[in-house]
C-alpha cells in the first residue's frame, strides 16, 4: 500500500484547509490549530477565545506529536496543514516521513492576493500585521 504525506504551505486565508477538504478526503490531518480547537471544545468556548499567541510553540509540538502518532500507525494519507512559511518549519516532517517510507508532497499555495484580502479571508483572526510579516518572509 502506498503511503503519502502532504505538506500544506500558504498564508493564512490562502485556502489551505479548503484545498485539503476538497482534494484529500479521508486524510489524517495534523494542524497546530487543532491544539486551540481542542481547548476550545474542552472549555465550551471558541477558537478565537482560546487562541493565545504565546502558546503557538506548544501548539506546534501538539501537531508534531499527532504527526508522529500517524506515521508510526502507518496511516496511508497524512496532511500537515500549517502555514509553513519557512522551510525549516516542515523539514522534520519530510525527514521522518521519508525515513518511514512515505512519499512526501509539498503543496504551495502562492501568495497572489494582498495582505488585506488574506486578512479578510482567514478564519483564525490572524492580525493584518502578522499576515504582512508572513508574506514578507514567505520562502
| Region label for 15, one of left (φ > 0), alpha (ψ between -120 and 50) or beta (otherwise) | left
Specify the range with the lowest mean pLDDT, choosing from 6-10, 70-74, 112-116, 120-124: 120-124
- The pTM of this model reads 0.89
C-alpha cell recorded at residue 36: 486551540
- Contact between 133 and 80 (Cβ < 8 Å): no
Higher pLDDT, 92 or 59: 92
Per-residue pLDDT at 122 exceeds 90: no
Amino acid at each position: 500500500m502506498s503511503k503519502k504525506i502532504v505538506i500544506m504551505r500558504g498564508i493564512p486565508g490562502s485556502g489551505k484547509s479548503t484545498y485539503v477538504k476538497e482534494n484529500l478526503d479521508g486524510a489524517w490531518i495534523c494542524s497546530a490549530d487543532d491544539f486551540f480547537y481542542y481547548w476550545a471544545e474542552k472549555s465550551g468556548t471558541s477558537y478565537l477565545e482560546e487562541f493565545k499567541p504565546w502558546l503557538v510553540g506548544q501548539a506546534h509540538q501538539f501537531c508534531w506529536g499527532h504527526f508522529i502518532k500517524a506515521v508510526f500507525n502507518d496511516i496511508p494519507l497524512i496532511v500537515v496543514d500549517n502555514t509553513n512559511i519557512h522551510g525549516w518549519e516542515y523539514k522534520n516532517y519530510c525527514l521522518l516521513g521519508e525515513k518511514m517510507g512515505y512519499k512526501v508532497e509539498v503543496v504551495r499555495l502562492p501568495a497572489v492576493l494582498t495582505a488585506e484580502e488574506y486578512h479578510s479571508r482567514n478564519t483564525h483572526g490572524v492580525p493584518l500585521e502578522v499576515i504582512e510579516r508572513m508574506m514578507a518572509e514567505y520562502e
